Amino acid sequence: MKRFWKTNLIILVVIMLLTQMTSQACNVEKDKTEKWKNTATSIENRLNSLMESMTLDEKAGQMLQSEMNATPDDVKKYSLGSVFSGADSYPGDNKKEDWIDMCKKYQDAAMSTRLGIPIMFGIDAIHGHNAVNGTVIFPHNIGLGAAGDTELMSEIAGVTASEMIATGVNWDFGPCIAVARDERWGRTLESYSEDPKLVSKLLVPFIKTMQDKYGITATAKHYAADGGTGWNTEYNHIDRLDANISEEELRKIHIAGYEKAVKAGVKTVMVSFSSWNGVCNHENKYLIQDVLKGELGFKGFVVSDYEGIHMIMKDNLYDQVVAAVNAGIDMLMEPMHWKETIDAIKEAVNKGDIKEERINDAVRRILRVKLEMGLFEKPLGNQNLAAKELGSSKNREIAKKAVRESLVLLKNKNNILPLKKGAKIFVTGPAADNVGIQCGGWTVSWQGGMDNNGIKWTQGSTILEGFKKIAEKNGGTIITDEKEAKNADVAVVVIGEKPYAEYEGDDGDLGLYNGLALDGNQKALETAKATGLPVVTILVSGRPRIVTDEIKDWDAFVAAWLPGSEGDAVAEVLYGKYPFTGKLSFTWPADVKQLPINVGDKSGKIPLFPYGFGLKTSNRH
């Protein structure tokens, strides 16, 4: 009997000791997880605690960014680090309520995981929160470069950020700080200027306002020399090709902006599809690890572009993943192959093809950004800073200011501008009454679109509506019937380009009637000329187009760029309510054969208008 009780006593003591050890182990694990949730401790302490608690599966998941085809359950199961909306994907009816509901479901799933790490939801908000119905659409960057207003850049960032927060989106794939050096490039519209000094000047207030004031993570893109690629006559393209330039030019022209962005605190950098001297940027360890993270001291994380690692000339996904991660890319944007990419990362670590230190560095960078941006506490952003409604009149007024400042007056014979408010104006041209054309690409969808049968592509006002509004208030007359044009005092012709984005916008011609020029440009110009009236031409475009042969027939010429949703502001400047103040942020070529032509060139090429040109007018009224 004594032996029985002694045996049971020993068993009881062992059980108690095991229970205590288990409890202590649980408490240790609990301490670890609770420590990184403690906002009173430092970011580094929270980060260290979190990293110690992570498995390889969880680390690999954090390095992946999927498209919206990944469900909230997928986010939970695979510990995904990010989800993004491609240019043609949106929830429900693409309204604010649809977006905030979707983002909340994603975040709830992420926060319900073992470690509760929030996702970053990314989107290309490159001229306003442009993917969502009803938002304010600002002029594309080329117009903002012509405005050259740093305070305006801060205001634009604030409006964009507030509308993003209203939809629950916390990561902007912007600003694009490309320095476009050849106007045939379809992304020229996304570039502030051919001059890196102006680009650097404008990117800083945008980044600081977006991140520091509104808590939206910004992205400097596309690293590096996306705007320095050369035209390929065989493929008739320039986008995503090779920048065959010296390192001196690379640094002076194309990396200078990244140095400013890093100093401004930008949290993410996106790699370019293009290559530099034959080496794909997505596998260029020297540019990413040595220059960006080393020399420039970038502490945030590097993300690939849309399936960008597939630009790496390797036989399979595994080798592409290994090359990209070892080159320094921290997060992989893989809309279609995110599961396979997670598997590839884990396999590469187990095989030793990717060192665990590189994985830890990538994940630490990603998590540091999430911690620094307060996503663990407010994964949907600070809702106190959210726009109460999308497209408010107050925010649209800031967009109108941007339009006014971006317009560049290039010719003004006999001071025909500003127009008299009581004048009879004949307004014609395919871009006169079309919000979609004004907004260009990256508006609701990737390639944008045009108004159809009176239905606007997105909410906004057209240039023609602006003319009518002013005329009605001031006893003027707007004529749109060409049969009545002879009764007018002046003809205003609004011509332009079809909406486009990226390589779809590559155009080796840049004429007014070929390539991506709008159908109807030629007819409208001929009609206006036939009236015998003074002709004012407004060009709506994402870059300079060749107008050398036509401009002699125009009394005035205005570059309106892609003004966005507030087209009526164009009319306000032409009528003299506000003065012309914009200056060319790109050299205007006289002939496409001159390209590339840029400020500071010593080629002796004579442009139609030099960089920085722009006539001024005073307010008539």
Q: Which helix or strand (DSSP H or E) is residue 132 part of?
A: none
Angle at 512 between CA 507 and CA 518, to 5 degrees: 85
CA distances from residue 472 to 97, 480, 572 in whole angstroms, order as listed: 37, 14, 13
What residues contact residue 177 under an 8 Å CB cut-off, 6+ apart?
192, 199, 200, 203, 220, 221, 257, 258, 261
Judge contact between 256 and 220, C-beta under 8 A: no
Query: Which residues face 445 on adjacent strands?
Result: 443
**How remote is the C-alpha of 343 from its chain's centroid?**
30
Pick from 557, 415, 544, 400: which is nearest to 492 by CA?
Answer: 557
Q: How far is it, in rounded angstroms, from Cα 473 to Cα 450?
A: 29
**How remote is the C-alpha of 250 from its chain's centroid?**
22
Any alpha helices (H) in 54-140, and if so which ranges?
56-62, 72-78, 96-111
Cis peptide before 224 (omega within 30 of 0): yes
Pick from 551, 533, 521, 546: which is nearest to 411 by CA?
Answer: 551
Judge contact between 248 and 194, C-beta under 8 A: no
Q: For tokens 């009803």, name the residue.
A: 134
Judge contact between 500 and 450, C-beta under 8 A: no
Q: Which residues are catalytic?
A: 305, 502
Pick from 360, 293, 302: which is nearest to 329 by CA?
Answer: 302
Residues 161, 164, 168, 171: what is their CA dihedral angle, to the nearest 10 degrees? Answer: -70
Judge contact between 260 and 309, C-beta under 8 A: no
**Token pair for residue 95?**
């309204």
What residues contact residue 108 under an 8 Å CB cut-off, 6+ apart?
72
Q: How far is it, in rounded angstroms, from Cα 77 to Cα 359?
A: 20
8-state DSSP, 239: T
What residues contact residue 238 under an 8 Å CB cut-off, 6+ apart?
182, 184, 185, 186, 229, 230, 231, 232, 506
List % helix, strand, coil for the chain (3-state, nearest 5): 45, 15, 45
